[in-house]
Amino acid sequence: MKILLINGSPKGKNSNSLKLANSFIEGIRQTKASAGEELIVDEAELASLKIASCKGCFSCWKNTPGKCCIPDDMPMVMQKMLSSDLIVWSFPLYYFNVPGILKNLIDRQLPMSLPFMSKDGGSTGSGGHDARFDMSGIRHVLISTCGFYSAEGNYDSVRAMFDHFLGKDNYTTIFCGQGELFRVKELSERTGEYLNLVKKAGAEYAAGRVSEATEGALKELLYPRDVFEKMADESWGVSQESGEKVSEDLIFTRQMAALYNKASYDGKDRVLEMHYTDLGTSYQILLGKDGSTVVTDGSLTTTTRIDTPFDVWVAISRGEMSGQEALGKGLYSVTGDFSLMMYWGRYFGGSGASTGGSAPSASGKKELKNPSMASMLIPWIAFWIATSMFGITGAAVSILIAAATPVIMLRRKQVIWDRLATASVCLLSVLIILGADPHMIGSLGYLVFAAMWLGSCVAKRPLCSAYVKYQFGGDIAYKNPLFMKTNYILATMWGILYVLTAIWSTILGRAGLGWLLMIINNLVPMGMGIFTAFFSKWYPAYLASGKGKSKL
């Protein structure tokens, strides 16, 4: 298959639209490669070619039929057009139409038409000329970005023109608003998602046609209109009120503020203060119900403050540095309400932080929910209560509950600790059924439980982290020293607690103080649970404030 990519952006290689066109072709390449088909891609970069405007002399119809009298690059492009199977027209929207350099090329196609009026009135019935050469086998795709928030309603003239010369419904389009965002590195996560979608469209196109689902997804806005327009207005670096130039750090902060997702508002106004330590500047961002506002006079009461060198924050925003790692290394510090940092993705949109819910997968199947620690705890709790109260019968009940837990938790992902809990409880229960002393086996259970917690620390992934990482962006949390250190400490504490539980359970059990054990073994984990809830919030915030930096 031969593709001619016509890059009609005056920006040449720096074109936003070209990024989409390249992704589309990448998708085609993928499909063709899996079918073992060769793909040849030729590019006509109009910005670096000489294609003058048509003189309107009609000599290509009268004097030298099929040949233009202007000696420039157009004959070469025409040859390429005629020998392609697919032409990808990539261009920006300029004044609701194609840029001049592309219009030149379109006008200069005159030699490719016959001079006589088409008998059937052309593709739209309003008049036309038949093609001089057989171009019926050539497919066409139009790919374009524009500067407004949406492509909707902005491409009417483009469509009208291409309908006439390519034929209505004879071409595929990908028109995308917010085009200038494709060159903003800080937004590459979101624009990357879109480019992947364009690539998918390319792969589908090569296999036949772009699916309705992909077409629909391509029409979705990159960002909501208000977010985009705020970012776009700030990007010019000029104050709307005074017309004066705005400093780079203020532009950056305002654009960051524009990304605030007001749907994350939880009834509490927050004020994020960005203090750029190297520049000595501070800006406050009010995050409220109706959106965000940047305040430069420090008049608000800060709830979360970030002290950071400006370039560090820029590098994090561009994805050149992991924010969590940088925080762990003390490259910046956070004081005040730490919850904003923990759920940054939720407030500032699409950083990939998981909220713990389940989303439909690409295949349309519902994905499993994130693991729950309940899957690991239910078998153990059932085992300790049932066997201490009902001995052998309790052991049988424990086996049933342990076996039923994965079924009850069917919609959740399972982790190794869930499986180990089920297996351990079943094994220990069998020992009781075979005649072992329930109290002794109960204490052994505490030791096995402790071993799971302590062993997980040796294995470098503290047990609790397997469950709570999803609140901190998934696997990326393993790279976050704050997260890891908090979880190591908690896992070690739980491990030690259960070693102690095993000891006092053995002693008190032998002394016949089972009733006291019942109370202690319920109250102590409850207390530890409350401590865990407190510590998991307080400790990362303490470290992030810079006070615990040296300890990381």
Ligand X SMILES: Cc1cc2nc3c(=O)[nH]c(=O)nc-3n(C[C@H](O)[C@H](O)[C@H](O)COP(=O)(O)O)c2cc1C
Cα three-residue angle 127-130-132, rounded to 5 degrees: 150
Q: Which stretch binds ligand X (CB under 6 A): 93-101, 234-242, 434-442, 509-517?
A: 93-101
**How far apart are CB 178 and ligand X at their closest, in Å?**
8
Radius of gyration of the chain (CA): 33
- Which C-beta is closer to ligand X: that of 188 or that of 471? 188
Q: Is 173 in the site for ligand X (CB under 6 A)?
A: no
Residues 6+ away with beta carbon under 8 Å from 45: 7, 12, 13
Q: Contacting ligand X (CB under 6 A), which of 109, 145, 465, 501?
A: 145
Q: Contacting ligand X (CB under 6 A), which of 27, 92, 202, 438?
A: 92
Q: Hey, is 275 helix, strand or coil? A: strand
Q: Is 146 in the site for ligand X (CB under 6 A)?
A: yes
Q: Please, are residues 540 and 342 in contact by the beta-carbon 8 Å criterion?
A: yes
Q: Is 95 in the site for ligand X (CB under 6 A)?
A: yes
- Which C-beta is closer to ligand X: that of 92 or that of 202? 92
Q: Decide the pairing of beta strands 281-288 and 291-295.
A: antiparallel
- Which C-beta is closer to ligand X: that of 145 or that of 465? 145
Instruction: Provide the 10 A C-beta neighbour count for residue 219.
Output: 14
For 88, 313, 320, 350, 460, the CA distances from 186, given in Å and listed in that order, are 28, 11, 9, 12, 32
Task: Tell me the per-residue interface mask from 97 to 136 with ligand X, x by CB under 6 A, - otherwise.
Answer: ----------------------------------------
- Which C-beta is closer to ligand X: that of 93 or that of 450? 93
Q: Is 148 in the site for ligand X (CB under 6 A)?
A: yes
**How far apart are CB 156 and ligand X at their closest, in Å?**
11
Q: Is 159 in the site for ligand X (CB under 6 A)?
A: no
Cα three-residue angle 25-42-79, rounded to 5 degrees: 130
Q: Decide the pairing of beta strands 129-131 and 113-117.
A: antiparallel
Q: Which stretch binds ligand X (CB under 6 A): 7-15, 162-170, 255-263, 510-518?
A: 7-15
- Which C-beta is closer to ligand X: that of 96 or that of 538? 96
Q: 43, 41, 168, 165: which is closest to 109 by C-alpha?
A: 165
Crossing angle between the packed helical segments 374-408 and 514-544, to the nearest 10 degrees:
110
Q: Is 235 in the site for ligand X (CB under 6 A)?
A: no
**How far apart are CB 536 and ligand X at their closest, in Å?**
45
**How far apart are CB 154 and ligand X at their closest, in Å?**
5
Q: Is 180 in the site for ligand X (CB under 6 A)?
A: yes
Between CA 110 and CA 58 the distance in angstroms is 8
**How far apart are CB 46 and ligand X at their closest, in Å?**
11
Q: Contacting ligand X (CB under 6 A), which of 51, 88, 93, 340?
A: 93
Region for residue 508 given its phi and psi (left: phi exceeds 0; alpha: psi -120 to 50; beta: otherwise): alpha
CA atoms within 13 A on the CB side of 196: 7
362-367 contact pairs (CB < 8 A, 24+)? none
- Which C-beta is closer to ligand X: that of 179 or that of 379? 179
**How far apart are CB 201 and ligand X at their closest, in Å?**
17
Q: Is 45 in the site for ligand X (CB under 6 A)?
A: no
For 48, 271, 274, 292, the CA distances from 299, given in Å and listed in that order, are 52, 11, 14, 15
Q: Which stretch binds ligand X (CB under 6 A): 147-155, 158-166, 222-230, 353-361?
A: 147-155
- Which C-beta is closer to ligand X: that of 238 or that of 430? 238
Copy the structure tokens of residue 222. 């990159």
Q: Contacting ligand X (CB under 6 A), which of 3, 15, 84, 323?
A: 15
Q: Is 17 in the site for ligand X (CB under 6 A)?
A: yes
Task: Annotate 116-143 with DSSP letters as a single string.
Answer: EEPTT-STTSS--EEESS--TT-EEEEE
Q: Which stretch binds ligand X (CB under 6 A): 14-22, 73-81, 204-212, 501-509?
A: 14-22
Q: Which residues pair with 175 in a beta bridge?
A: 144
Q: Which stretch binds ligand X (CB under 6 A): 12-20, 23-31, 430-438, 446-454?
A: 12-20
Instruction: Provide the 10 A C-beta neighbour count for residue 116.
Output: 9
Q: Is 155 in the site for ligand X (CB under 6 A)?
A: no
Q: Is 16 in the site for ligand X (CB under 6 A)?
A: yes
Q: Is 154 in the site for ligand X (CB under 6 A)?
A: yes
Q: Measured on CA atoms in the order 26, 232, 174, 189, is the torsion positive or negative?
A: positive
Q: 86, 89, 90: which is closest to 32 by C-alpha?
A: 86
**How far apart are CB 525 and ligand X at their closest, in Å?**
58
**How far apart are CB 234 and ligand X at their closest, in Å?**
16
- Which C-beta is closer to ligand X: that of 8 or that of 462? 8
Residue with tokens 């590019």: 43
Q: 160, 78, 99: which is closest to 126 by C-alpha?
A: 160
**Maximum separation of any 2 CA atoms in the chain, in Å:** 116
Number of residues that bind ligand X (CB under 6 A): 17
Q: Is 292 in the site for ligand X (CB under 6 A)?
A: no
- 365-404: contacts with ligand X (CB under 6 A): none
Q: Which stretch binds ligand X (CB under 6 A): 10-18, 63-71, 187-195, 459-467?
A: 10-18
Q: Please, are residues 87 and 6 in contact by the beta-carbon 8 Å criterion?
A: yes
φ and ψ of 462, to 5 deg: -50, 140
**How far apart are CB 95 and ligand X at their closest, in Å?**
5
What is the number of the residue whose Cβ is closest to ligand X? 179
**How far apart are CB 15 and ligand X at their closest, in Å?**
3
- Which C-beta is closer to ligand X: that of 177 or that of 379? 177
Length of the chain: 552
- Which C-beta is closer to ligand X: that of 112 or that of 232? 232
Residues within the interface to ligand X (CB under 6 A): 9, 11, 15-17, 92-96, 145-148, 154, 179-180
